[in-house]
Amino acid sequence: MRIRRLLELLINLVLFSSTNDQAYYRHLLLLEDLAHNSGMDKDLYDFWGQSSLRIQDYTKSQIQWIHDAESKVDLVSCWYLKNQRPILRSTVKQLAAENILSSFRSRFKQALLSLTNTERITCGYSYYWIFGTSSENIHFRSSRLDNNLSLDEWRMHIQRIGLLIYLIIDRCYQIMGKPVASQCEEISKSLENEARSSSIIRDKTVGVYELGDLVFAYGERSKIIEIKNSPYGYRTYKVNYLDDKQNKVKEDWCPAPYIQPYQPMKIIFKK
């Protein structure tokens, strides 16, 4: 729960780096308030059979405030909107949060290329890497057998929470124009080891494998037959499974984190 909330805040701050103006902050706050009240009214209607006239009356005022705020922002730049267009004068039922605000997945994808190396390592290399697994830990699933975290996993979670807080403070410090604040400056400097973090990211998301290399893909002995890069700079390897004769899938794509070295092609040629 804590990791999810901290991730959401950090990603919002990263995206606000490109819309760092009071008009955008006000616009988002108004939209979130509208979505909240719309959700409350929908709950009343769904479970109690009647909507609230007071909420609907307040919503009309909110929509007018949002229309006024829209004149001061560039809607195309509003990363927090699901659709970059003006809020329509709709009924409360049509103004549910999922119809107004962009999803965290959408925001994460937008922010990913703007993350520093340290932020990318901490936030995870994909939506599911950290946020998705944190979500699964909150929700019950009957088929899940690994609900109990090890002591090392708990320690890692606690360390990630601490680092996320540092990164949030640093982003606020950057957005505010680096005001005089010695503690914030110390935090910012402590997060600047980009060379080391760049090496970690490359090892995790790209790898050092070449065509023809023998590797373990998802734990199975395989041979790399094709390589592709994603728009985020991540590398995926197409492998030919060598040992599992009964599996109908003989070739498949495997992301770099799930590839382990076995024997490079150049060593095979030397033999």
Domain extent listing, the chain: 1-197, 214-270
Q: So what's the pLDDT on residue 134?
A: 73
Q: Residue 142 region, left (φ>0) first, then alpha (ψ -120 to 50), else beta?
A: alpha
Residues with Cβ within 8 Å of 271's Cβ and at least 6 positions away in sequence, in order, are none
Query: Residue 264: phi, psi to the nearest 5?
Result: -65, 155
Taking the mean position of all CA atoms in its chain, how far away is CA 138? 17
**Alpha-carbon distance 108 to 139, whole Å?**
21
Helix segments in the chain, DSSP class H:
2-16, 22-48, 53-70, 97-100, 104-111, 117-123, 133-138, 151-175, 182-190, 194-205, 265-270
Q: So what's the pLDDT on residue 147?
A: 61
pTM over 0.75: yes
Q: So what's the pLDDT on residue 119?
A: 92
- Report mean pLDDT in 10-residue bins for the chain, 271 residues: 90 96 96 90 91 90 92 95 76 62 93 92 88 72 66 81 92 91 82 77 91 92 95 94 82 94 64 49
- Closest C-alpha to 131, from 159, 152, 160, 110: 160
Q: So what's the pLDDT on residue 5?
A: 92
Q: So what's the pLDDT on residue 87?
A: 78
Q: So what's the pLDDT on residue 16?
A: 97
Q: So what's the pLDDT on residue 94?
A: 59
**Alpha-carbon distance 151 to 267, whole Å?**
40
**Alpha-carbon distance 91 to 88, whole Å?**
9
Q: So what's the pLDDT on residue 151?
A: 76
